[in-house]
Amino acid sequence: MKVGIYYGSETGNSEMLCEDIEAELGGDFDCHIASLADVDPAAMERETFYIFVTSTYGNGDLPSTALPFEEALTQGKPDLSGIRFAIFGLGDQVFSETFNHGSMKLAQMLKGLKAEQIGERGIHDASSFEMPEDIALPWVGRIMEELKAKVA
Ligand SMILES: Cc1cc2nc3c(=O)[nH]c(=O)nc-3n(C[C@H](O)[C@H](O)[C@H](O)COP(=O)(O)O)c2cc1C
């Protein structure tokens, strides 16, 4: 199965995490990493499982590299029915009012266009002193089990 691992990142944490996820899944799946800056949501394929990894900036917004993707969703309103995805957010609890709102908003947008979310949204808190990969790799293991159970 093809797995698209797409990141929205300002300072590279989400991109690095995608590389860790690819290393974790790469033996079993045909993985492809891309920046959301380079992805057209209308070109997403139903045969591919998508894992989105994004941080939060500004007033609970997606990072600037992901804003064109957001605009393509909100303006183009592509029909994403049949698309399955999971999402992991990087944020910082210091920003308590907007903690991880970027990943929350992106999940809502994708579901609003009829994509199906697999599993719970994963979350990392930069002020927790835990490494993102220590949270995300067990999370992605659970996600792939849920996906397997769903398609079986
Ligand atoms: C200027 C600035 C604004 C931020 N705003 C938020 C925010 O509103 N909510 C949140 O949860 N995290 C916020 N963060 C934390 C980042 O999302 C977090 O550090 C993340 O790990 C960055 O990942 P990246 O390198 O992939 O962009 C902010 C960080 C900075 C530097």
Summarize pLDDT for 131-150 with one digit per residue, the tens.
Answer: 999 999 999 999 999 999 98
What is the pairing mode between strands 2-8 and 30-35? parallel
Is residue 16 within 8 Å of 22, Cβ to Cβ? Answer: no
Task: Look up the CATH number of the domain holding residue 21.
Answer: 3.40.50.360
pLDDT at 105: 98
Q: How many domains does the chain have?
A: 1
Structural domain of 44 = 2-151
**C-alpha angle 11-15-19 in degrees, rounded to nearest 5:** 145
Q: Atom 6 of ligand 1 has which residue's CA nearest to it?
A: 57
Ligand 1 atom closest to residue 61's alpha carbon, by position in its atom list: 8
Ligand 1 centre to CA of 65 (Å) is 13
pLDDT tens for 63-101 read 999 999 999 999 999 999 999 999 999 999 999 999 999
Tell me the C-alpha distance between 114 and 8, whole Å.
Answer: 21
Read out DSSP for 5-43? EEEE-SSSHHHHHHHHHHHHHTTTSEEEEEEGGG--GGG
Tokens 């398609």 appear where?
Answer: 151
pLDDT tens for 22-56 read 999 988 999 999 999 999 999 999 999 999 999 99
Over residues 57-65, mean pLDDT:
95
Ligand 1 atom closest to residue 15's alpha carbon, by position in its atom list: 26
Question: Which residues form the pocket of ligand 1, taking CB atoms under 6 Å from any ligand atom?
Answer: 9-14, 55-57, 60, 63, 90-92, 95, 98-100, 126
pLDDT at 151: 83
pLDDT at 45: 96
